[in-house]
Structures are given as C-alpha cells and as structure tokens.
Structure 1
C-alpha cells in the first residue's frame, strides 16, 4: 500500500496594509449586497453624491465615514481598507492563516487618552482583536472628559504590561496597579479604563475577544471617544474631532 504524506496548505499573508483609496472596495461590497447608492445613503446618513465621489476615488474618506459605511454595509471596517473582494477560490482541504506585521505597521488610532495600534487588521473574521496601546490619561477625570463613561464591549479581554505601570479601573472593583510583566484577563462587558501610573511611557499589549455578533472593538472605542468629547464640548457628536487610521 502506498502511503502519501499530506501537508496542509498554509496561507502566509504579509501585506503593508495600505489602501489609500478604498472606493473600489466599497463599490464592490455595495454591489455584492445588491444595494444602490441611495439605499446606502439612507443607511449611513451620507449624501449619495459624496458616496459616488468616494467610490470613484475623487475624495478620501475620513474615519467616521468609513465607520458609517461599514455599519451600512454590515461588514467589518477592515474589509473597507483591503483590496476589492475577489470571487472566492475553491477551499483547500486544510487552511492555515498567518499574518506577519513588521515594526511600525498596523492601523493607528490616536486619542487624548490612548495611542492604539490595531494588529492583523487585514485578516477578516478574527476571533480576537490584538492591539498595542500606549496609555496617556493619568486620572479618571481626564479619561471621562474624553469618553464620558467607562469603556465596555461584549466579550473578554487580555492585557499584558510591556512597560511602565498602569492603573486598571472598573465600575465593579477597586483600582489595581499593574507593573511591567503583569497580566490581566477580564470580562470586557464590565466598564473599564487604563490609566498611566508612572512617569515613564506606559505600554500594554491587549487582545479583545468579542462575544457574538457585535460592533468591532475599534468602532466602539472611537465612537465612545467622539461622543464623549462632543458632549464635554457641548457639540453634536458629528462635530467632534475626526480621527483617521494610519496604515503603514
């Protein structure tokens, strides 16, 4: 009897995560959903003319527009930042997924309280959202001035302190101080906040695993930041400062 070793086919993904003009991707996703510009406009609150210009590459979308379009199309926002969807290839017998990011790569989101780099954003349908975070806010007053409330999202979260000291605050427990090398695993539906507790830079690695079909963690984070900032300034939420992802 002849015995043949079968080696699972692996997919090695290494991209620079760049898509300065996601218009073609948005058009392809809209058409695959059998949706007109007028229908997408009604779902997003964006003018059909603006959507048309965006799809044609005549204007670049801001982060809040990408978030609105991702909700209107019911897709992960990272799908808008990738290449236009291709016809699915026949699935191999075994599939392995791997993403390689070099130093400095990722999707960056800056707020007053945190500098976040979301990793493996080109990999869709992930079971968790990995990120590197530098903590800036030192007090709950600073944090609440931006977010208005604790951050919470359905699921679980793991955090490992790389550098500095972080005070972990929740709406259920007394604050606890975490030092470099410490780690924490918690229910992220519990309101929580990270505060800088040392004079040196405070950096953490976190992985958020959502529970069920929920809004992407990055959308929850930015939405809370913008709404909290707008409320503090007495502005409508759509007048709050815009934050755009920076991909390398």
Structure 2
C-alpha cells in the first residue's frame, strides 16, 4: 500500500507490525533523512520551528504527521517530500514521479522589495528542475534599482503586461513589450525596469535552485535598500499562502 494524505494527515493504513516490504513509514523516513545530514533534533527544531518534543514524537510514530508539519520539516532538510518517502524502506522513487502543485491566483511565496514584487508559484514542491517566478516590476531607473542582480543558471522571461527594459552588464539595454520574451545567462548582471507610467509584470523561469534564488533576491534587495535609506526598507518574505 502507498502512503496516503487523508484529512490533512499523512498516515500508513496498516499498523507497524502489518506493513509490507513496499510500504513507507513517515516517522522513520524523517528520522533517516535527519541523521543522513548529521542533524540533532535540536538543530532540526531550530530550522523548522517545531518543538523538539514534537519532532521526537513524529519520528517515533507517537503523533500524527500532518501535511503542514511534513512540509515544514522537508523544507528545513532541503529535500522533497517525495524523496523522504522514497528513501524509506528502499521504496522506488519512480512511484512518486506524479507530483503536482496548483497555485491559485494571488497565492505563492512572496518577496517584496523596492525593485520587484516576486511571487513563487509551486513553492510547496522542493528540488524543482526549474523555478517559475511572477514579478511585478517597481524600479524605473538603474538608480532606483541599485546594483545589478546575478545568480546561477539560465533564465527565460516572458513579458505579461506593460513595457520592460532589460539592462545587463554585457549588452545594450533591450526593450521588451507584452508578449515578447528573452532567454539569457543569468550569471550576467541584470535588471528589469518599468518603461512608462503603467504597471509591468513578467514571468521568469530560472534553472537555479529556488533557495539560491530567494537568498540572492533578498541579499541584492538589501544592498539596494542601503543606497536609499530614506525609502522603503528591505524585502519581506510573506510565506507561500500570502
């Protein structure tokens, strides 16, 4: 039997003594993942915000494992939920290849700064092959934007609304209109600027890891904020359901 998510809880249909060789044990999977990284319960608690006593009960099967707790722990460990279960009892990872995530309008992990309002759809899926980002652009000049952004990987950007100038440190600025797109090496310094008075939004798809992208965006936004102390402060991460 496979692990089920029922009523917000992840559970095994059969008691421990009746599990077949192909079944997974969520608590044992979490315990194994934590120990593979050399983390103590105290260290994991600091990462995910759950009490040590709760983590201990979860690992020992003495407390129901809700999907919310499972998500928080998997994010703290930097592993996908599917990988956690695939690693327990030698389960076949192919059994978990059908994962999906639906993000409704206005949902997604949000980071706001003076440069962009970033929203990350499918934030509940870790270790994605690519990271989609919907960005509403704020800055209209390089002075407003601050230092150019650069990060690992490659980037494809499609203009959803408005007119955008893409500045890089290797090419002359490129003007893009709604419906236009560009693919580039995001290791180049780059900045998206709004052209005109209207709003501008883009969909960017990046090949870097989501954690790396978030950390880069926050770090660069903090650097930019330091250049304009009288204006808005640093970025705010609102969480995936904001």
TM-score normalized with structure 1 length:
0.62
Indicate the residue corresponding to 2:141 in structure 1: 139
From 180, 183, 186, give the equivalent of 2:181: 183
Cα distance per residue 1:187-224 (max 9 Å; x no partner):
000110000002211011110112xx796211111112
Asked if the contact 1:164–1:201 (Cα under 8 Å) also holds between the matched residues in 2, the reply is yes
Is residue 110–residue 117 contact of structure 2 (8 Å, CA) maintained in 1? yes
Answer yes or no: is 1:34 the counterpart of 2:41. no
Instruction: Select the residue among 158, 161, 185 that pairs with 1:160.
Output: 158
Q: Of 101, 104, 111, which aligns to 2:103? A: 101
SS in 1 for 2:237: coil
Counterpart of 1:75 (choices 75, 78, 92) is 78
CA distance in 1, matches of 2:117, 2:193: 12
Instruction: Name the residue aligned to 1:91.
Output: 92
Residue 229 (structure 1) shift: 2.3
**Pairs aligned (count):** 186
Deviation at 1:175, TM superposition (A): 0.7
Distance 1:32 1:169, change over 3 A: same
* Bigger relative contact order (CA 8 A; separation at least 6): 1
Contiguous gaps of at least 5 residues in structure 2 = 9-29, 53-72
Which residue of 2 is the match for residue 120 of structure 1? 122
The structure with the larger Rg is 2
TM-score between both structures, scaled by the size of structure 2: 0.64
Distance 1:35 1:192 in 2: 37
CA distance in 2, matches of 1:112, 1:30: 37
Q: Which deviations, in whole Å up to 9, do the C-alpha atoms of 1:48-83 show, x marking residues without a partner?
A: xx94994339xxxxxxxxxxxx9xx7737xx7xx8x
Quote the Cα distance in structure 1 between the aligned partners of 2:189 and 2:235: 24
Aligned-residue CA RMSD (Å):
3.8
Quote the Cα distance in structure 2 between the aligned partners of 1:172 and 1:179.
Answer: 21
Deviation (angstroms), 1:247? 2.5
Taking the aligned partners of 2:103 and 2:137, their CA distance within structure 1 comes to 22
State the partner residue of 1:193.
191
How has the CA–CA distance of structure 1 residues 75 and 204 changed in structure 2, closer, same or farther, with 3 Å as cutoff? Answer: same
